[in-house]
Amino acid sequence: MKISCIAIDDEPLALDLLTKFIRQTTFLELKGSFSNAIEALGFLNLEEVNLVFMDIQMPDLSGMELARVLDGKKNSGNTRVIFCTAYHQFALEGYKVDALDYLLKPYSYEDFLTAATKAYQYFGRIGQSISPSLHSTSSTPADYIFLKVEYQLVKVVLKDITHIEAYKDYVKVHLKSKNHPLLSLTSMKNMEELLPKDRFMRVHRSFIVSLDHIDSISKNVIHIGSQPITVGDLYKEQFTEFVSRWTN
């Protein structure tokens, strides 16, 4: 599945970095880059694009104004927005126009990839309601994610993940098919956002489990293979609700 996108920023260096990040992300397809929102709007009136990465403060037409225009169209092309800006005070306003995410400059490729993967998961989940450019390649939710492991993006099939474990500034992604976990430089919060909530659950500050791979539960301890995982106090109520549905 390829997500068609454009980049908009009136700062040449920022636009160059943004287009570079888009091009090196395998599931994104760059359709155009623009130094002003008016030119980009003209393009969007002619072409269907799934995702717009753009700055907020731009001359003539701001990114927020363009987002309102797109929102007013009620997603005739299911176009979503990710803002890339140096001003954190616009975050709340960004969510009012249903922005998919908000990147605060200067952002790293890891930050960019997290936002892009959120878009990938979003378009995968909405399936057949996505625009033709995505519909032609996939009409079912994505069954994999991409993780940054060392200096490359690694495709990880969701059904292969047994559990995720926090490890300093990294996460360990334990896989059924491998003896050793993948070590990815990201956070547990980011992993929660990437993984479908009907298949994965945060049960501890340091653990996310695959519901499909739970072998047994004893009191507040989950067993996945030979790995016991204790349910943390903050997550007991949610997990108890899950168990009650499981046993009924």
The CATH label, of 2.40.50.1020, 1.20.200.10, 2.40.50.100, 3.40.50.2000, for the domain at 145-247 is 2.40.50.1020
Query: Which tens digit of pLDDT belongs to each residue from 132-174?
Result: 444 444 434 568 887 778 767 788 899 999 999 999 888 999 9
pLDDT at 131: 45
pLDDT at 50: 93
Distance, in Å, from the CA atom of 192 to the CA atom of 95, rounded to the nearest integer, reads 19
The Cα-based distances of 137 to 12, 115, 130 in angstroms read 33, 21, 11
Q: Is residue 185 classed exposed, middle or buried when 0-12, 13-18 and 19+ CB atoms within 10 A define those classes?
A: middle
Query: Which tens digit of pLDDT belongs to each residue from 183-194?
Result: 988 888 878 877
pLDDT at 180: 92
pLDDT at 196: 85
pLDDT band of residue 78 (cuts 50, 70, 90) is confident
pTM higher than 0.85, yes or no?
no
Query: Which tens digit of pLDDT belongs to each residue from 90-141?
Result: 545 545 567 888 888 899 998 899 889 888 888 876 653 344 444 444 434 5
Spell out the domain ranges in the chain.
Answer: 3-135, 145-247
Residue 246 has pLDDT above 90, yes or no: no
Fold of 3-135: Rossmann fold (3.40.50)
Distance, in Å, from the CA atom of 58 to the CA atom of 64, rounded to the nearest integer, reads 9
pLDDT at 166: 94
Mean pLDDT, all residues of the chain: 84
pLDDT band of residue 218 (cuts 50, 70, 90) is confident
CA neighbor of 84 nearest in space, from 125, 60, 51, 39: 51
Distance, in Å, from the CA atom of 144 to the CA atom of 214, rounded to the nearest integer, reads 19
pLDDT at 124: 77
pLDDT at 232: 94
Query: Which tens digit of pLDDT belongs to each residue from 7-62?
Result: 999 999 999 999 999 999 989 999 999 999 999 999 998 888 999 999 988 888 88
pLDDT at 74: 53
Percent of the chain with pLDDT over 90: 44
